[in-house]
Structure 1
Amino acid sequence: MAIQTKKIAEEKALKIKKESKLLLTQQKRGKLKIVLSKNMPLFILTLPALIYFILFHYAPMFGVVMAFKDFKYNLGILGSPWVGFKNFEFFFTSNDAWRILRNTVGYSILFIVVTNGVALIVALLLNEIKNKLVLKIHQTAMLMPHFLSWVLVGFITYIFLSPMMGVLNQFLEGLGLEGREWYSEPGHWPYILTVTSLWKGVGLQILFYYAALLTVDPQLYEAARIDGANKLKQAWYISIPAVLPIMTILMILAIGDTFRGDFGLFYQIPRDVGLLYSTTDIIDTYIFRGLRTGDMGVTAAVGLFQSVVGLILILIVNWIVKKIKPENALF
């Protein structure tokens, strides 16, 4: 009798457990429907971006296997023979490896420091402008280059640096100085690329920092002025802490791209001149030349290495930030 009673109790408990699970599932589905119905316009807006990433970022990931194969066009990806890590070995033992890794990482770090420093200073200066018309003129002028294509920026740069009729050489000759052969002297290009990258990209960064400054309560500045704080101290103790969260997120993303340069900048501005490779060649331009010559295996290996290292860097930097100040972490 006791055994039968125990069995009935277990069956009832199991039935209650199943009913509670079913109820919980229905509640979750109901909440999901509510979320979908409330946010459907937002989901529709994100649909083009999702389709883009699926088609051009996730679907091609199958091609990663080419990094471990001796790719033959007549055999295709699946039919090409496996070579293991020989493509990676070929790249890292080549004379190009050190040059393009040094340039890619070096320029990335340089651009991070220069762009963030200039963007922060200019955003702080914009925050001091009270005339709305003047402010809009400055913002438009600084943001406009961001929307220009690198092809157009390349032509503008060539107008300045052309050996024969370049504006810069004509200016130097007007001062009684000798013009330069800019496209055959690699030593000048770290400065040229840094200035060009800053001119085109700093406007958007300024906009992010300025937007963060707009969230600061004006009463904080008023209280600081009453306490005798000058503009420098107000910036240090009020403005910069307000910008720090967005700066941290942008820095994490930028460090994740340390092994990924801006292809348009490094291809269109130096015009792919071989004499300049020592200071202008990066991983992305090296991959492009590999695709152009049909060396798919090594190209895929370098691209895979680039992506994996970038992911690892993002995870490491985000973990460090989370340990120091969790609210500033990316995820």
Structure 2
Amino acid sequence: MLHFGQGFRKEFKKHWQLFLLATPGVILLFFFAYLPMFGIVIAFKSYNYMQGLLGSPWCGFDNFKFLFASNTAWQITKLTLGYNFLFILLGLVLPVMLALAFNEIRRPLASKIYQTISIMPNFLSWVIMSYIGLALLNNNGFINSVLHMLGKESVYFYSDPNYWPAILILVSQWKGIGYSSVVYLACICGISTEYYEAAILDGASKWQQIWYITLPSLKPMMVITTIMALGHIFNSDFGLFYQMPLNLGQLYPATETIDVYVYNALQSMGNVNMSAAASVFQSAVGFVTILLANAAIRKIDNENALF
């Protein structure tokens, strides 16, 4: 264990190269992760620009009361939680299935091509994705053009919020499935081939090898990714829910999550206090969720707990 004082000086002298390598990362972590945490006090103050951060009067939990006193508080919270539960479930199942499929491709060149194609959407910004969606879903877009050719009536995607839960889920998984599958594929590649050779000698089928060897080996990574995802259960991908539906008011019943609501409120009312309160609330709930999820995992299977 590293001790301060004489023990620290001894360790620093012994491993000064490692400390030197870690210095830039520690500095960046301090300035971009720890120093901004001082801004949490805005959530508990009636902040105004004239008095500044330190001079603004304290208001306790009034900002949090204002945040949840609106008529849409339950709606935006329900949407945020509902979408995130689906994203966590699909983000756990679909990437694993895709990684298993990639692992069965025996030609290295074909495997690399398929992996590259699947991961490419991850590098597209949500602005570009919104324009792609507009080209497909607009009244004169590709989908409606095909419907006209088939003699069908147009579908007004940007006027009816009922279509957007399916659209947002589909786009989200299409954009992120490739990156997540590569992570699981790396874990699969690290499994010793001796297990599969022994299973083949015992007459195990391919499905039995996947069920009894591959999936148990992926279990630690699946648990870690699930726990980390639960930490963002009250957060939403702002680009997905703001850019993709073009922030249209008629789609708010299906697209206005907590982040979108706070941003729109900040833009229209300039209420910095409520925005800070929402951020603190999301972070605090996410932190507690991680602790609870890890505690549950520790009781079920202590070896796969995150900490």
Return the match for 1:189 from 160, 164, 167. 164
Partner of 1:319: 295
Shift of 1:226: 1.9
Partner of 1:34: 14
CA RMSD of aligned residues (A): 1.9
Query: 2:213 corresponds to which letter in structure 1?
Result: I
Paired residue secondary structure (1:88): helix
Query: 1:185 corresponds to which letter in structure 2?
Result: D
Partner of 1:171: 146
Return the match for 1:230 from 201, 205, 219. 205
Establish whether residue 291 from structure 1 lines up as the match of residue 271 from structure 2: no
Ranges in structure 2 where 5+ consecutive residues have no aligned partner: none
Ranges in structure 1 where 5+ consecutive residues have no aligned partner: 1-22
Shift of 1:77: 2.4
Shift of 1:34: 2.6
Partner of 2:119: 143
Query: 2:166 corresponds to which letter in structure 1?
Result: Y
Return the match for 1:155 from 131, 136, 142. 131
Q: Is the Cα contact below 8 Å between 1:142 and 1:203 reproduced in 2?
A: yes
Partner of 2:237: 262
Q: Which moved more, 1:50-59 or 1:264-273?
A: 50-59
Q: Is the Cα contact below 8 Å between 1:169 and 1:180 reproduced in 2?
A: yes
Q: Which moved more, 1:249-258 or 1:283-292?
A: 283-292
Establish whether residue 277 from structure 1 lines up as the match of residue 257 from structure 2: no
Q: Is the Cα contact below 8 Å between 2:12 and 2:19 reproduced in 1?
A: no
Q: Structure 1 vs Structure 2: percent identity of aligned residues?
A: 43
Query: 1:34 corresponds to which letter in structure 2?
Result: K
Q: Is the Cα contact below 8 Å between 2:46 and 2:58 reproduced in 1?
A: yes
Partner of 1:7: none
Query: 1:31 corresponds to which letter in structure 2?
Result: E
Separation of aligned partners in 1, 2:147 and 2:85? 31
Q: Is the Cα contact below 8 Å between 1:290 and 1:296 reproduced in 2?
A: no
- Deviation readout 1:92-142 (Å, 9 max, x if unpaired): 221121111111111111011112111111111111111000000011001
Paired residue secondary structure (2:158): helix
Separation of aligned partners in 2, 1:27 and 1:51? 23
Shift of 1:314: 0.9
Q: Which moved more, 1:73-82 or 1:189-198?
A: 73-82
Q: Is the Cα contact below 8 Å between 2:64 and 2:277 reproduced in 1?
A: yes
Shift of 1:291: 2.4
Separation of aligned partners in 2, 1:111 and 1:152? 21
Mark the CA change 1:154 to 1:215 in structure 2 (over 3 Å): closer, same or farther.
Answer: same
Separation of aligned partners in 1, 2:73 and 2:111? 46
- Deviation readout 1:207-259 (Å, 9 max, x if unpaired): 01100000111121121122121111111100001111111111111011111
Establish whether residue 72 from structure 1 lines up as the match of residue 48 from structure 2: yes
Mark the CA change 1:186 to 1:261 in structure 2 (over 3 Å): closer, same or farther.
Answer: same
Partner of 1:201: 176
Separation of aligned partners in 2, 1:168 and 1:34? 65
Separation of aligned partners in 2, 1:174 and 1:33? 76
Partner of 1:97: 73
Establish whether residue 124 from structure 1 lines up as the match of residue 104 from structure 2: no
Partner of 1:244: 219
Shift of 1:29: 2.7
Query: 2:96 corresponds to which letter in structure 1?
Result: L
Structure 1-normalised TM-score? Answer: 0.86
Separation of aligned partners in 2, 1:66 and 1:283? 18
More helix per residue: 1 or 2?
1
Shift of 1:27: 4.8
Partner of 2:34: 58
Mark the CA change 1:51 to 1:150 in structure 2 (over 3 Å): closer, same or farther.
Answer: farther
Return the match for 1:253 from 218, 228, 240. 228
Mark the CA change 1:285 to 1:52 in structure 2 (over 3 Å): closer, same or farther.
Answer: farther
Mark the CA change 1:37 to 1:277 in structure 2 (over 3 Å): closer, same or farther.
Answer: same
Establish whether residue 329 from structure 1 lines up as the match of residue 305 from structure 2: yes
Q: Is the Cα contact below 8 Å between 1:151 and 1:268 reproduced in 2?
A: yes
Mark the CA change 1:244 to 1:285 in structure 2 (over 3 Å): closer, same or farther.
Answer: same
Structure 2-normalised TM-score? Answer: 0.93
